[in-house]
Amino acid sequence: MKIKVIVTEFLAHQQIDVDARCYTEKNEPIMDTDTGGNPYHMGQVCSSLGWAKIDIPSRNIKKLQELFPGVQEFEFEFEYVKYMAPVNKQVILGIIEDLVSEFLYYNRKECETLPAGEIENALKTGEITVDEMVDKFRSSLEEKLK
C-alpha cells in the first residue's frame, strides 16, 4: 500500500517549521487517535525533509499495520512543498521580537562572554541602559541598510 507523505516547510518569522502528514493513495488523510481518544491527522513535526523520510516510516509503521490490517507492505512516497509567509510589517516586527528573545535568552544560555541574566544585571547596576542598547541597534541597522 502506498502512503503519500506531504512534507511542508513553512518559512515565517525567521523560523522554519517542517510538518509531515500521511495520506492514502486516494489522497484521504490517514487519521489516528491520541492517548486521550482525540482524532488527529497522522504525521509529525520534523526538522527537515531528510528526517521526515526516516521518522515517518519508523514511527508510524505499527500504527499503520493496526489501521490497515492485512496489508503486508507499505511504500512511502514523499512530496515536498515549500510555503513562505508574505513579507509585511507584522512579519518584520515579529522577527524583531524573535531577535530580542534570542538576544536576552536563547543566545545567552551557553554563552561564556555574556551568560543569561547578565544583561538584566547590567541594567540594574546602571552599566548600560535600554536607550543605549536601542540606540546601538538603530545605528547598526541604519549602517547596514546604507
Say if residue 132's pLDDT is above 60.
yes
Q: What percent of the chain has pLDDT over 70?
A: 96
Please tell me the predicted confidence (pLDDT) of residue 45.
79
Please tell me the predicted confidence (pLDDT) of residue 12.
64
- pTM, 2 dp: 0.53
Block residue for cell numbers 486521550: 36
Using CA atoms, how far apart are residues 34 and 55, in angstroms rounded to an integer? 18
